[in-house]
Amino acid sequence: MDVEPLAIPDVKRIRLRRFNDARGFFQQTYNSEEYAAAGISIRFVQDNWSRTRRGVLRGLHYQYEYPQEKLVAVLRGEIFDVAVDLRRSSPTFGRWVGTVINAESGEQLYIPAGFAHGFLALSETVDLVYKCSDFYAPGDECGIRWNDPTIGVEWPVTTALIISEKDETLGTFVDAKLFE
């Protein structure tokens, strides 16, 4: 396993070993000892699966009282995945990082607690799975609009997007609950 810090070093791209042959491939998707050795030692308590179609943008979401670390992977298709640093004490506070991950590469993205997360489906169909370090808490949902000018995420597509009514009405970075 190869762990690559992105422009915000706490967000990491994880390249896993994949063994290919004429039958297909085998890839171990999680081993707590290997992740701990790479500096990612968290206890995941919940797995989520999202099926999304091309042009759907989900986010930017986070939980405040019960923040979640996430390990994101794409099982089918391709996404542009974004993490926004909401930790006031961080040198990268208010900055975002985005990267393309897809099923073909088998890569994962690790997002620590204290970040907002969102993604845009770039392929016809996307099956995205992610592990969370805390349970979903419906009363603790927070979010920031996908096109907040203070953050300035540079999405690869900005027209003909499909965004839920809930996500369209999210607040701004200036009004967001922020972490210390």
Distance CA 169, CA 85 (A): 21
φ, ψ at 91 (rounded to 5°) = -65, -15
Catalytic residue among 30, 35, 61, 64: 61
Check if 117 is active-site: no
CB neighbourhood size of 90 (10 A): 17
CA torsion 78→92→39→62, rounded to 10°?
-60
Give every strand in the sheet of 2-5, ordered side by side: 2-5, 12-15, 108-111, 70-76, 125-132, 46-53
45 token code pair = 């308590």
Residue 140: helix, strand or coil by DSSP?
helix
Catalytic residue among 35, 62, 110, 130: 130
Check if 30 is active-site: no
Q: Which residues does the annotation mark as catalytic?
A: 61, 130
